[in-house]
């Protein structure tokens, strides 16, 4: 079973010796409101992509596995830029919520530890009273049972506080594991997005290079073709001149 939803402590939650009834805890309504707000944040229309670039730049500036930094967003394809910014925005919101939850449970754990120390002091005080009562047992014959009952009650409350502190510590450990899992998932997603972007940029570059090669080859072939045409025209003119020169000579020889 996972930890409870993130909540914020009410002003009366830090008072000593006061127990909160889980069935009537107003923090549940606050947690439900926060959950509703979180769902609203996940809708892309609630925040423009331009506003998300501030958060996106934080994730973009993380170095990749090849120790490089991603280019500026104006060089990205719109679809990849939008997907990256939305993922960065949602990851940022998830990290903020996790940090709030961790901070809340840390404060709650500190409060419980203070209460445990208080109950320890009370227990020590009661034990001291019990030891001192042995010296005046004749005067307090009717009080030992009452003091023993108070001691048992305080020990039971102390045990409850120990169990509550242990449960909170377990929840904090679980939240830390989830935070690490989300961080690893975020890093993997950023790495995949960066790899895909590099492949697309490389593909575009190869297309441009191939287009340039085709253009150069076409231009070279055209130049060679024009040179051949000029050479053929020159040869035709030379043949015409040769025929013109040989025609009168043939006529004279035949006459």
pLDDT digits (tens, 9 = 90+) for 177-199: 988 888 888 888 888 888 888 88
H or E segment and range at residue 139: none
**Which H or E run contains 136?**
none
- The model's confidence at residue 68, banded by pLDDT at 50, 70 and 90, is low
Q: CB–CB of 168/112 below 8 Å?
A: yes
Confidence of residue 208 (pLDDT cuts 50, 70, 90): confident
Output the average pLDDT for the chain: 72
> For residues 201 and 207, what is the distance between their CA atoms, to the nearest angstrom?
10
CA distances from 157 to 145, 146, 180 (A): 18, 17, 35
Residue 247 has pLDDT above 60, yes or no: yes
Share of the chain above pLDDT 70, in %: 64
Residues 6+ apart with CB under 8 A from 127: 151
Residue 87 has pLDDT above 80, yes or no: no
Count other C-beta atoms under 10 Å from residue 87's C-beta.
17
Structure tokens at 11: 């002003």
Cα angle: 170, vertex 160, 25; to 5 degrees: 75
- Interatomic CA distance for residues 97 and 253, integer angstroms: 112
pLDDT interval class at 56 (50, 70, 90): low
Q: 27 near 7, Cβ under 8 Å?
A: yes
Distance of CA 78 to the CA centre of its chain: 20
Q: Which of 45-59, 96-110, 131-145, 176-190 has the lowest mean pLDDT?
A: 45-59
Lowest mean pLDDT among 59-73, 78-92, 143-157, 223-237: 59-73
Q: Who has greater pLDDT, 145 or 210?
A: 210
pLDDT band at 48 (very low <50, low <70, confident <90, very high): low
Residue 182's nearest CA partner among 76, 245, 94, 83 is: 94
């Amino acid at each position: 079973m996972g930890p409870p939803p993130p909540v914020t402590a009410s002003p009366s939650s830090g008072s000593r010796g006061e127990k909160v009834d889980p069935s009537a805890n107003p923090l549940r309504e606050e947690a439900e409101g926060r959950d509703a707000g979180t769902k609203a944040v996940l809708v892309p229309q609630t925040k423009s992509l331009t506003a998300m670039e501030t958060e996106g730049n934080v994730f973009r500036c993380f170095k990749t596995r090849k120790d490089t930094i991603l280019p500026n967003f104006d060089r990205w394809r719109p679809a990849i830029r939008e997907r990256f910014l939305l993922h960065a925005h949602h990851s940022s919101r998830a990290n903020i919520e996790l940090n709030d939850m961790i901070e809340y449970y840390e404060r709650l754990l500190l409060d419980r530890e203070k209460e445990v120390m208080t109950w320890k002091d009370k227990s020590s005080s009661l034990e001291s009273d019990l030891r001192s009562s042995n010296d005046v047992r004749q005067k307090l014959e009717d009080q030992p049972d009452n003091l023993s009952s108070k001691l048992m009650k305080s020990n039971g409350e102390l045990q409850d506080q120990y169990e509550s502190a242990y449960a909170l510590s377990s929840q904090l450990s679980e939240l830390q594991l989830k935070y690490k899992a989300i961080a690893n998932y975020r890093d993997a997603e950023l790495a995949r997005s960066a790899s895909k972007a590099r492949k697309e940029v490389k593909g575009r570059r190869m297309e441009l290079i191939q287009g340039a090669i085709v253009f150069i080859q076409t231009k070279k072939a055209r130049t060679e073709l024009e040179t051949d045409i000029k050479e053929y025209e020159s040869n035709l003119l030379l043949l015409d001149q040769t025929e013109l020169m040989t025609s009168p000579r043939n006529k004279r020889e035949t006459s």
